[in-house]
Amino acid sequence: MKKIIVCASAGWLSLWHVVFAAVPEYTAMKAGSRMVMDGFLDEPAWQQARSVGPFHFQWYQSGEKEPTEAKIVWDDERIYFAFQCADKHISAEQYGPNSPVSRDDCCEAFISPVPEGSERLDYLNYEINCIGTWLVGYHAKSRNADRGKWEPGGIVIGRYIKGTVNDDSDIDEGWVLEFSIPWTHFREFGAEFPPKNGQVIHVGLHRCGGKTNAQYSQWAPSQTERPNFHSPQDFGKVILSTKVLR
């Protein structure tokens, strides 16, 4: 859990220092060739990039813990996310932009682009279900710009389903989701993109389990009593490296 130290002076209460709990770290390499968002993950960058590590079931109660493998790469124009999800019963009922896709089988990337200072807890959340429906949220409380749902455009999505959607009479294998986000989405935040070598962002990677076996899993677990992915102080640390994957 985070520790907050405050000081009071002349009737004002101000935030002085915030210490965050330890979070997982990942080094995202640079893609050396064109990335195509088609759900097949056959680009050299995806083949060479390592997984972020296991997803954790922070609020587990019962049911099967279906695993997720996630990777991150980037180039001068975009950042790319890939998820491979084992899933015996795939479901999705949300089809319109900015609809509540977290009710479906979906994966999410929450990105805090400023590594420290007053904007550290500002973030954008990208939620995409297994059939490619998206929701985007804009949260910049440091600038009084907590807009909620946002329609920025420019998101490119690829998906591949190994099974039948919304049919629990059979057993599915799983699904693959990849998507890319332009760096221009972060132009109102206090960080410069494309990144320099070693630049840090903080990222929360999440998965929702859909109608059947509705689990919540995360790469960097939220330190909250109840399921809540909107916990930017708990996002994992991602170091952007200019080492090229060819």
**Domain ranges within the chain, ordered by starting residue:** 23-245
Q: What share of the chain in percent tops pLDDT 90?
A: 91
Tell me which fold the domain 23-245 belongs to: Immunoglobulin-like (2.60.40)
φ, ψ at 209 (rounded to 5°): -90, 0
Structure confidence at residue 5 (pLDDT)? 35
Question: Could you report the per-residue pLDDT of 105-154, keeping only the tens digit for each?
Answer: 999 999 999 999 999 999 999 999 999 999 999 999 999 999 999 999 99
The residues with which 148 forms a beta bridge, in sequence order, are: 138
Query: Within its chain, how far is the Cα of 161 from the centroid?
Result: 20
Structure confidence at residue 1 (pLDDT)? 39
Least confident among 13-22, 23-32, 199-208, 215-224 = 13-22
* pTM of this structure: 0.92
- 107, 205 Cβ separation under 8 angstroms: yes
Structure confidence at residue 18 (pLDDT)? 54
φ, ψ at 232 (rounded to 5°): -60, -25
How many Cα atoms are found within 13 Å in the side-chain-facing hemisphere of 38?
7
Distance CA 68, CA 80 (A): 16
For residue 3, pLDDT over 90 is answered with no
The verdict on whether omega for the bond into residue 194 sits within 30 degrees of 0, i.e. cis, is yes
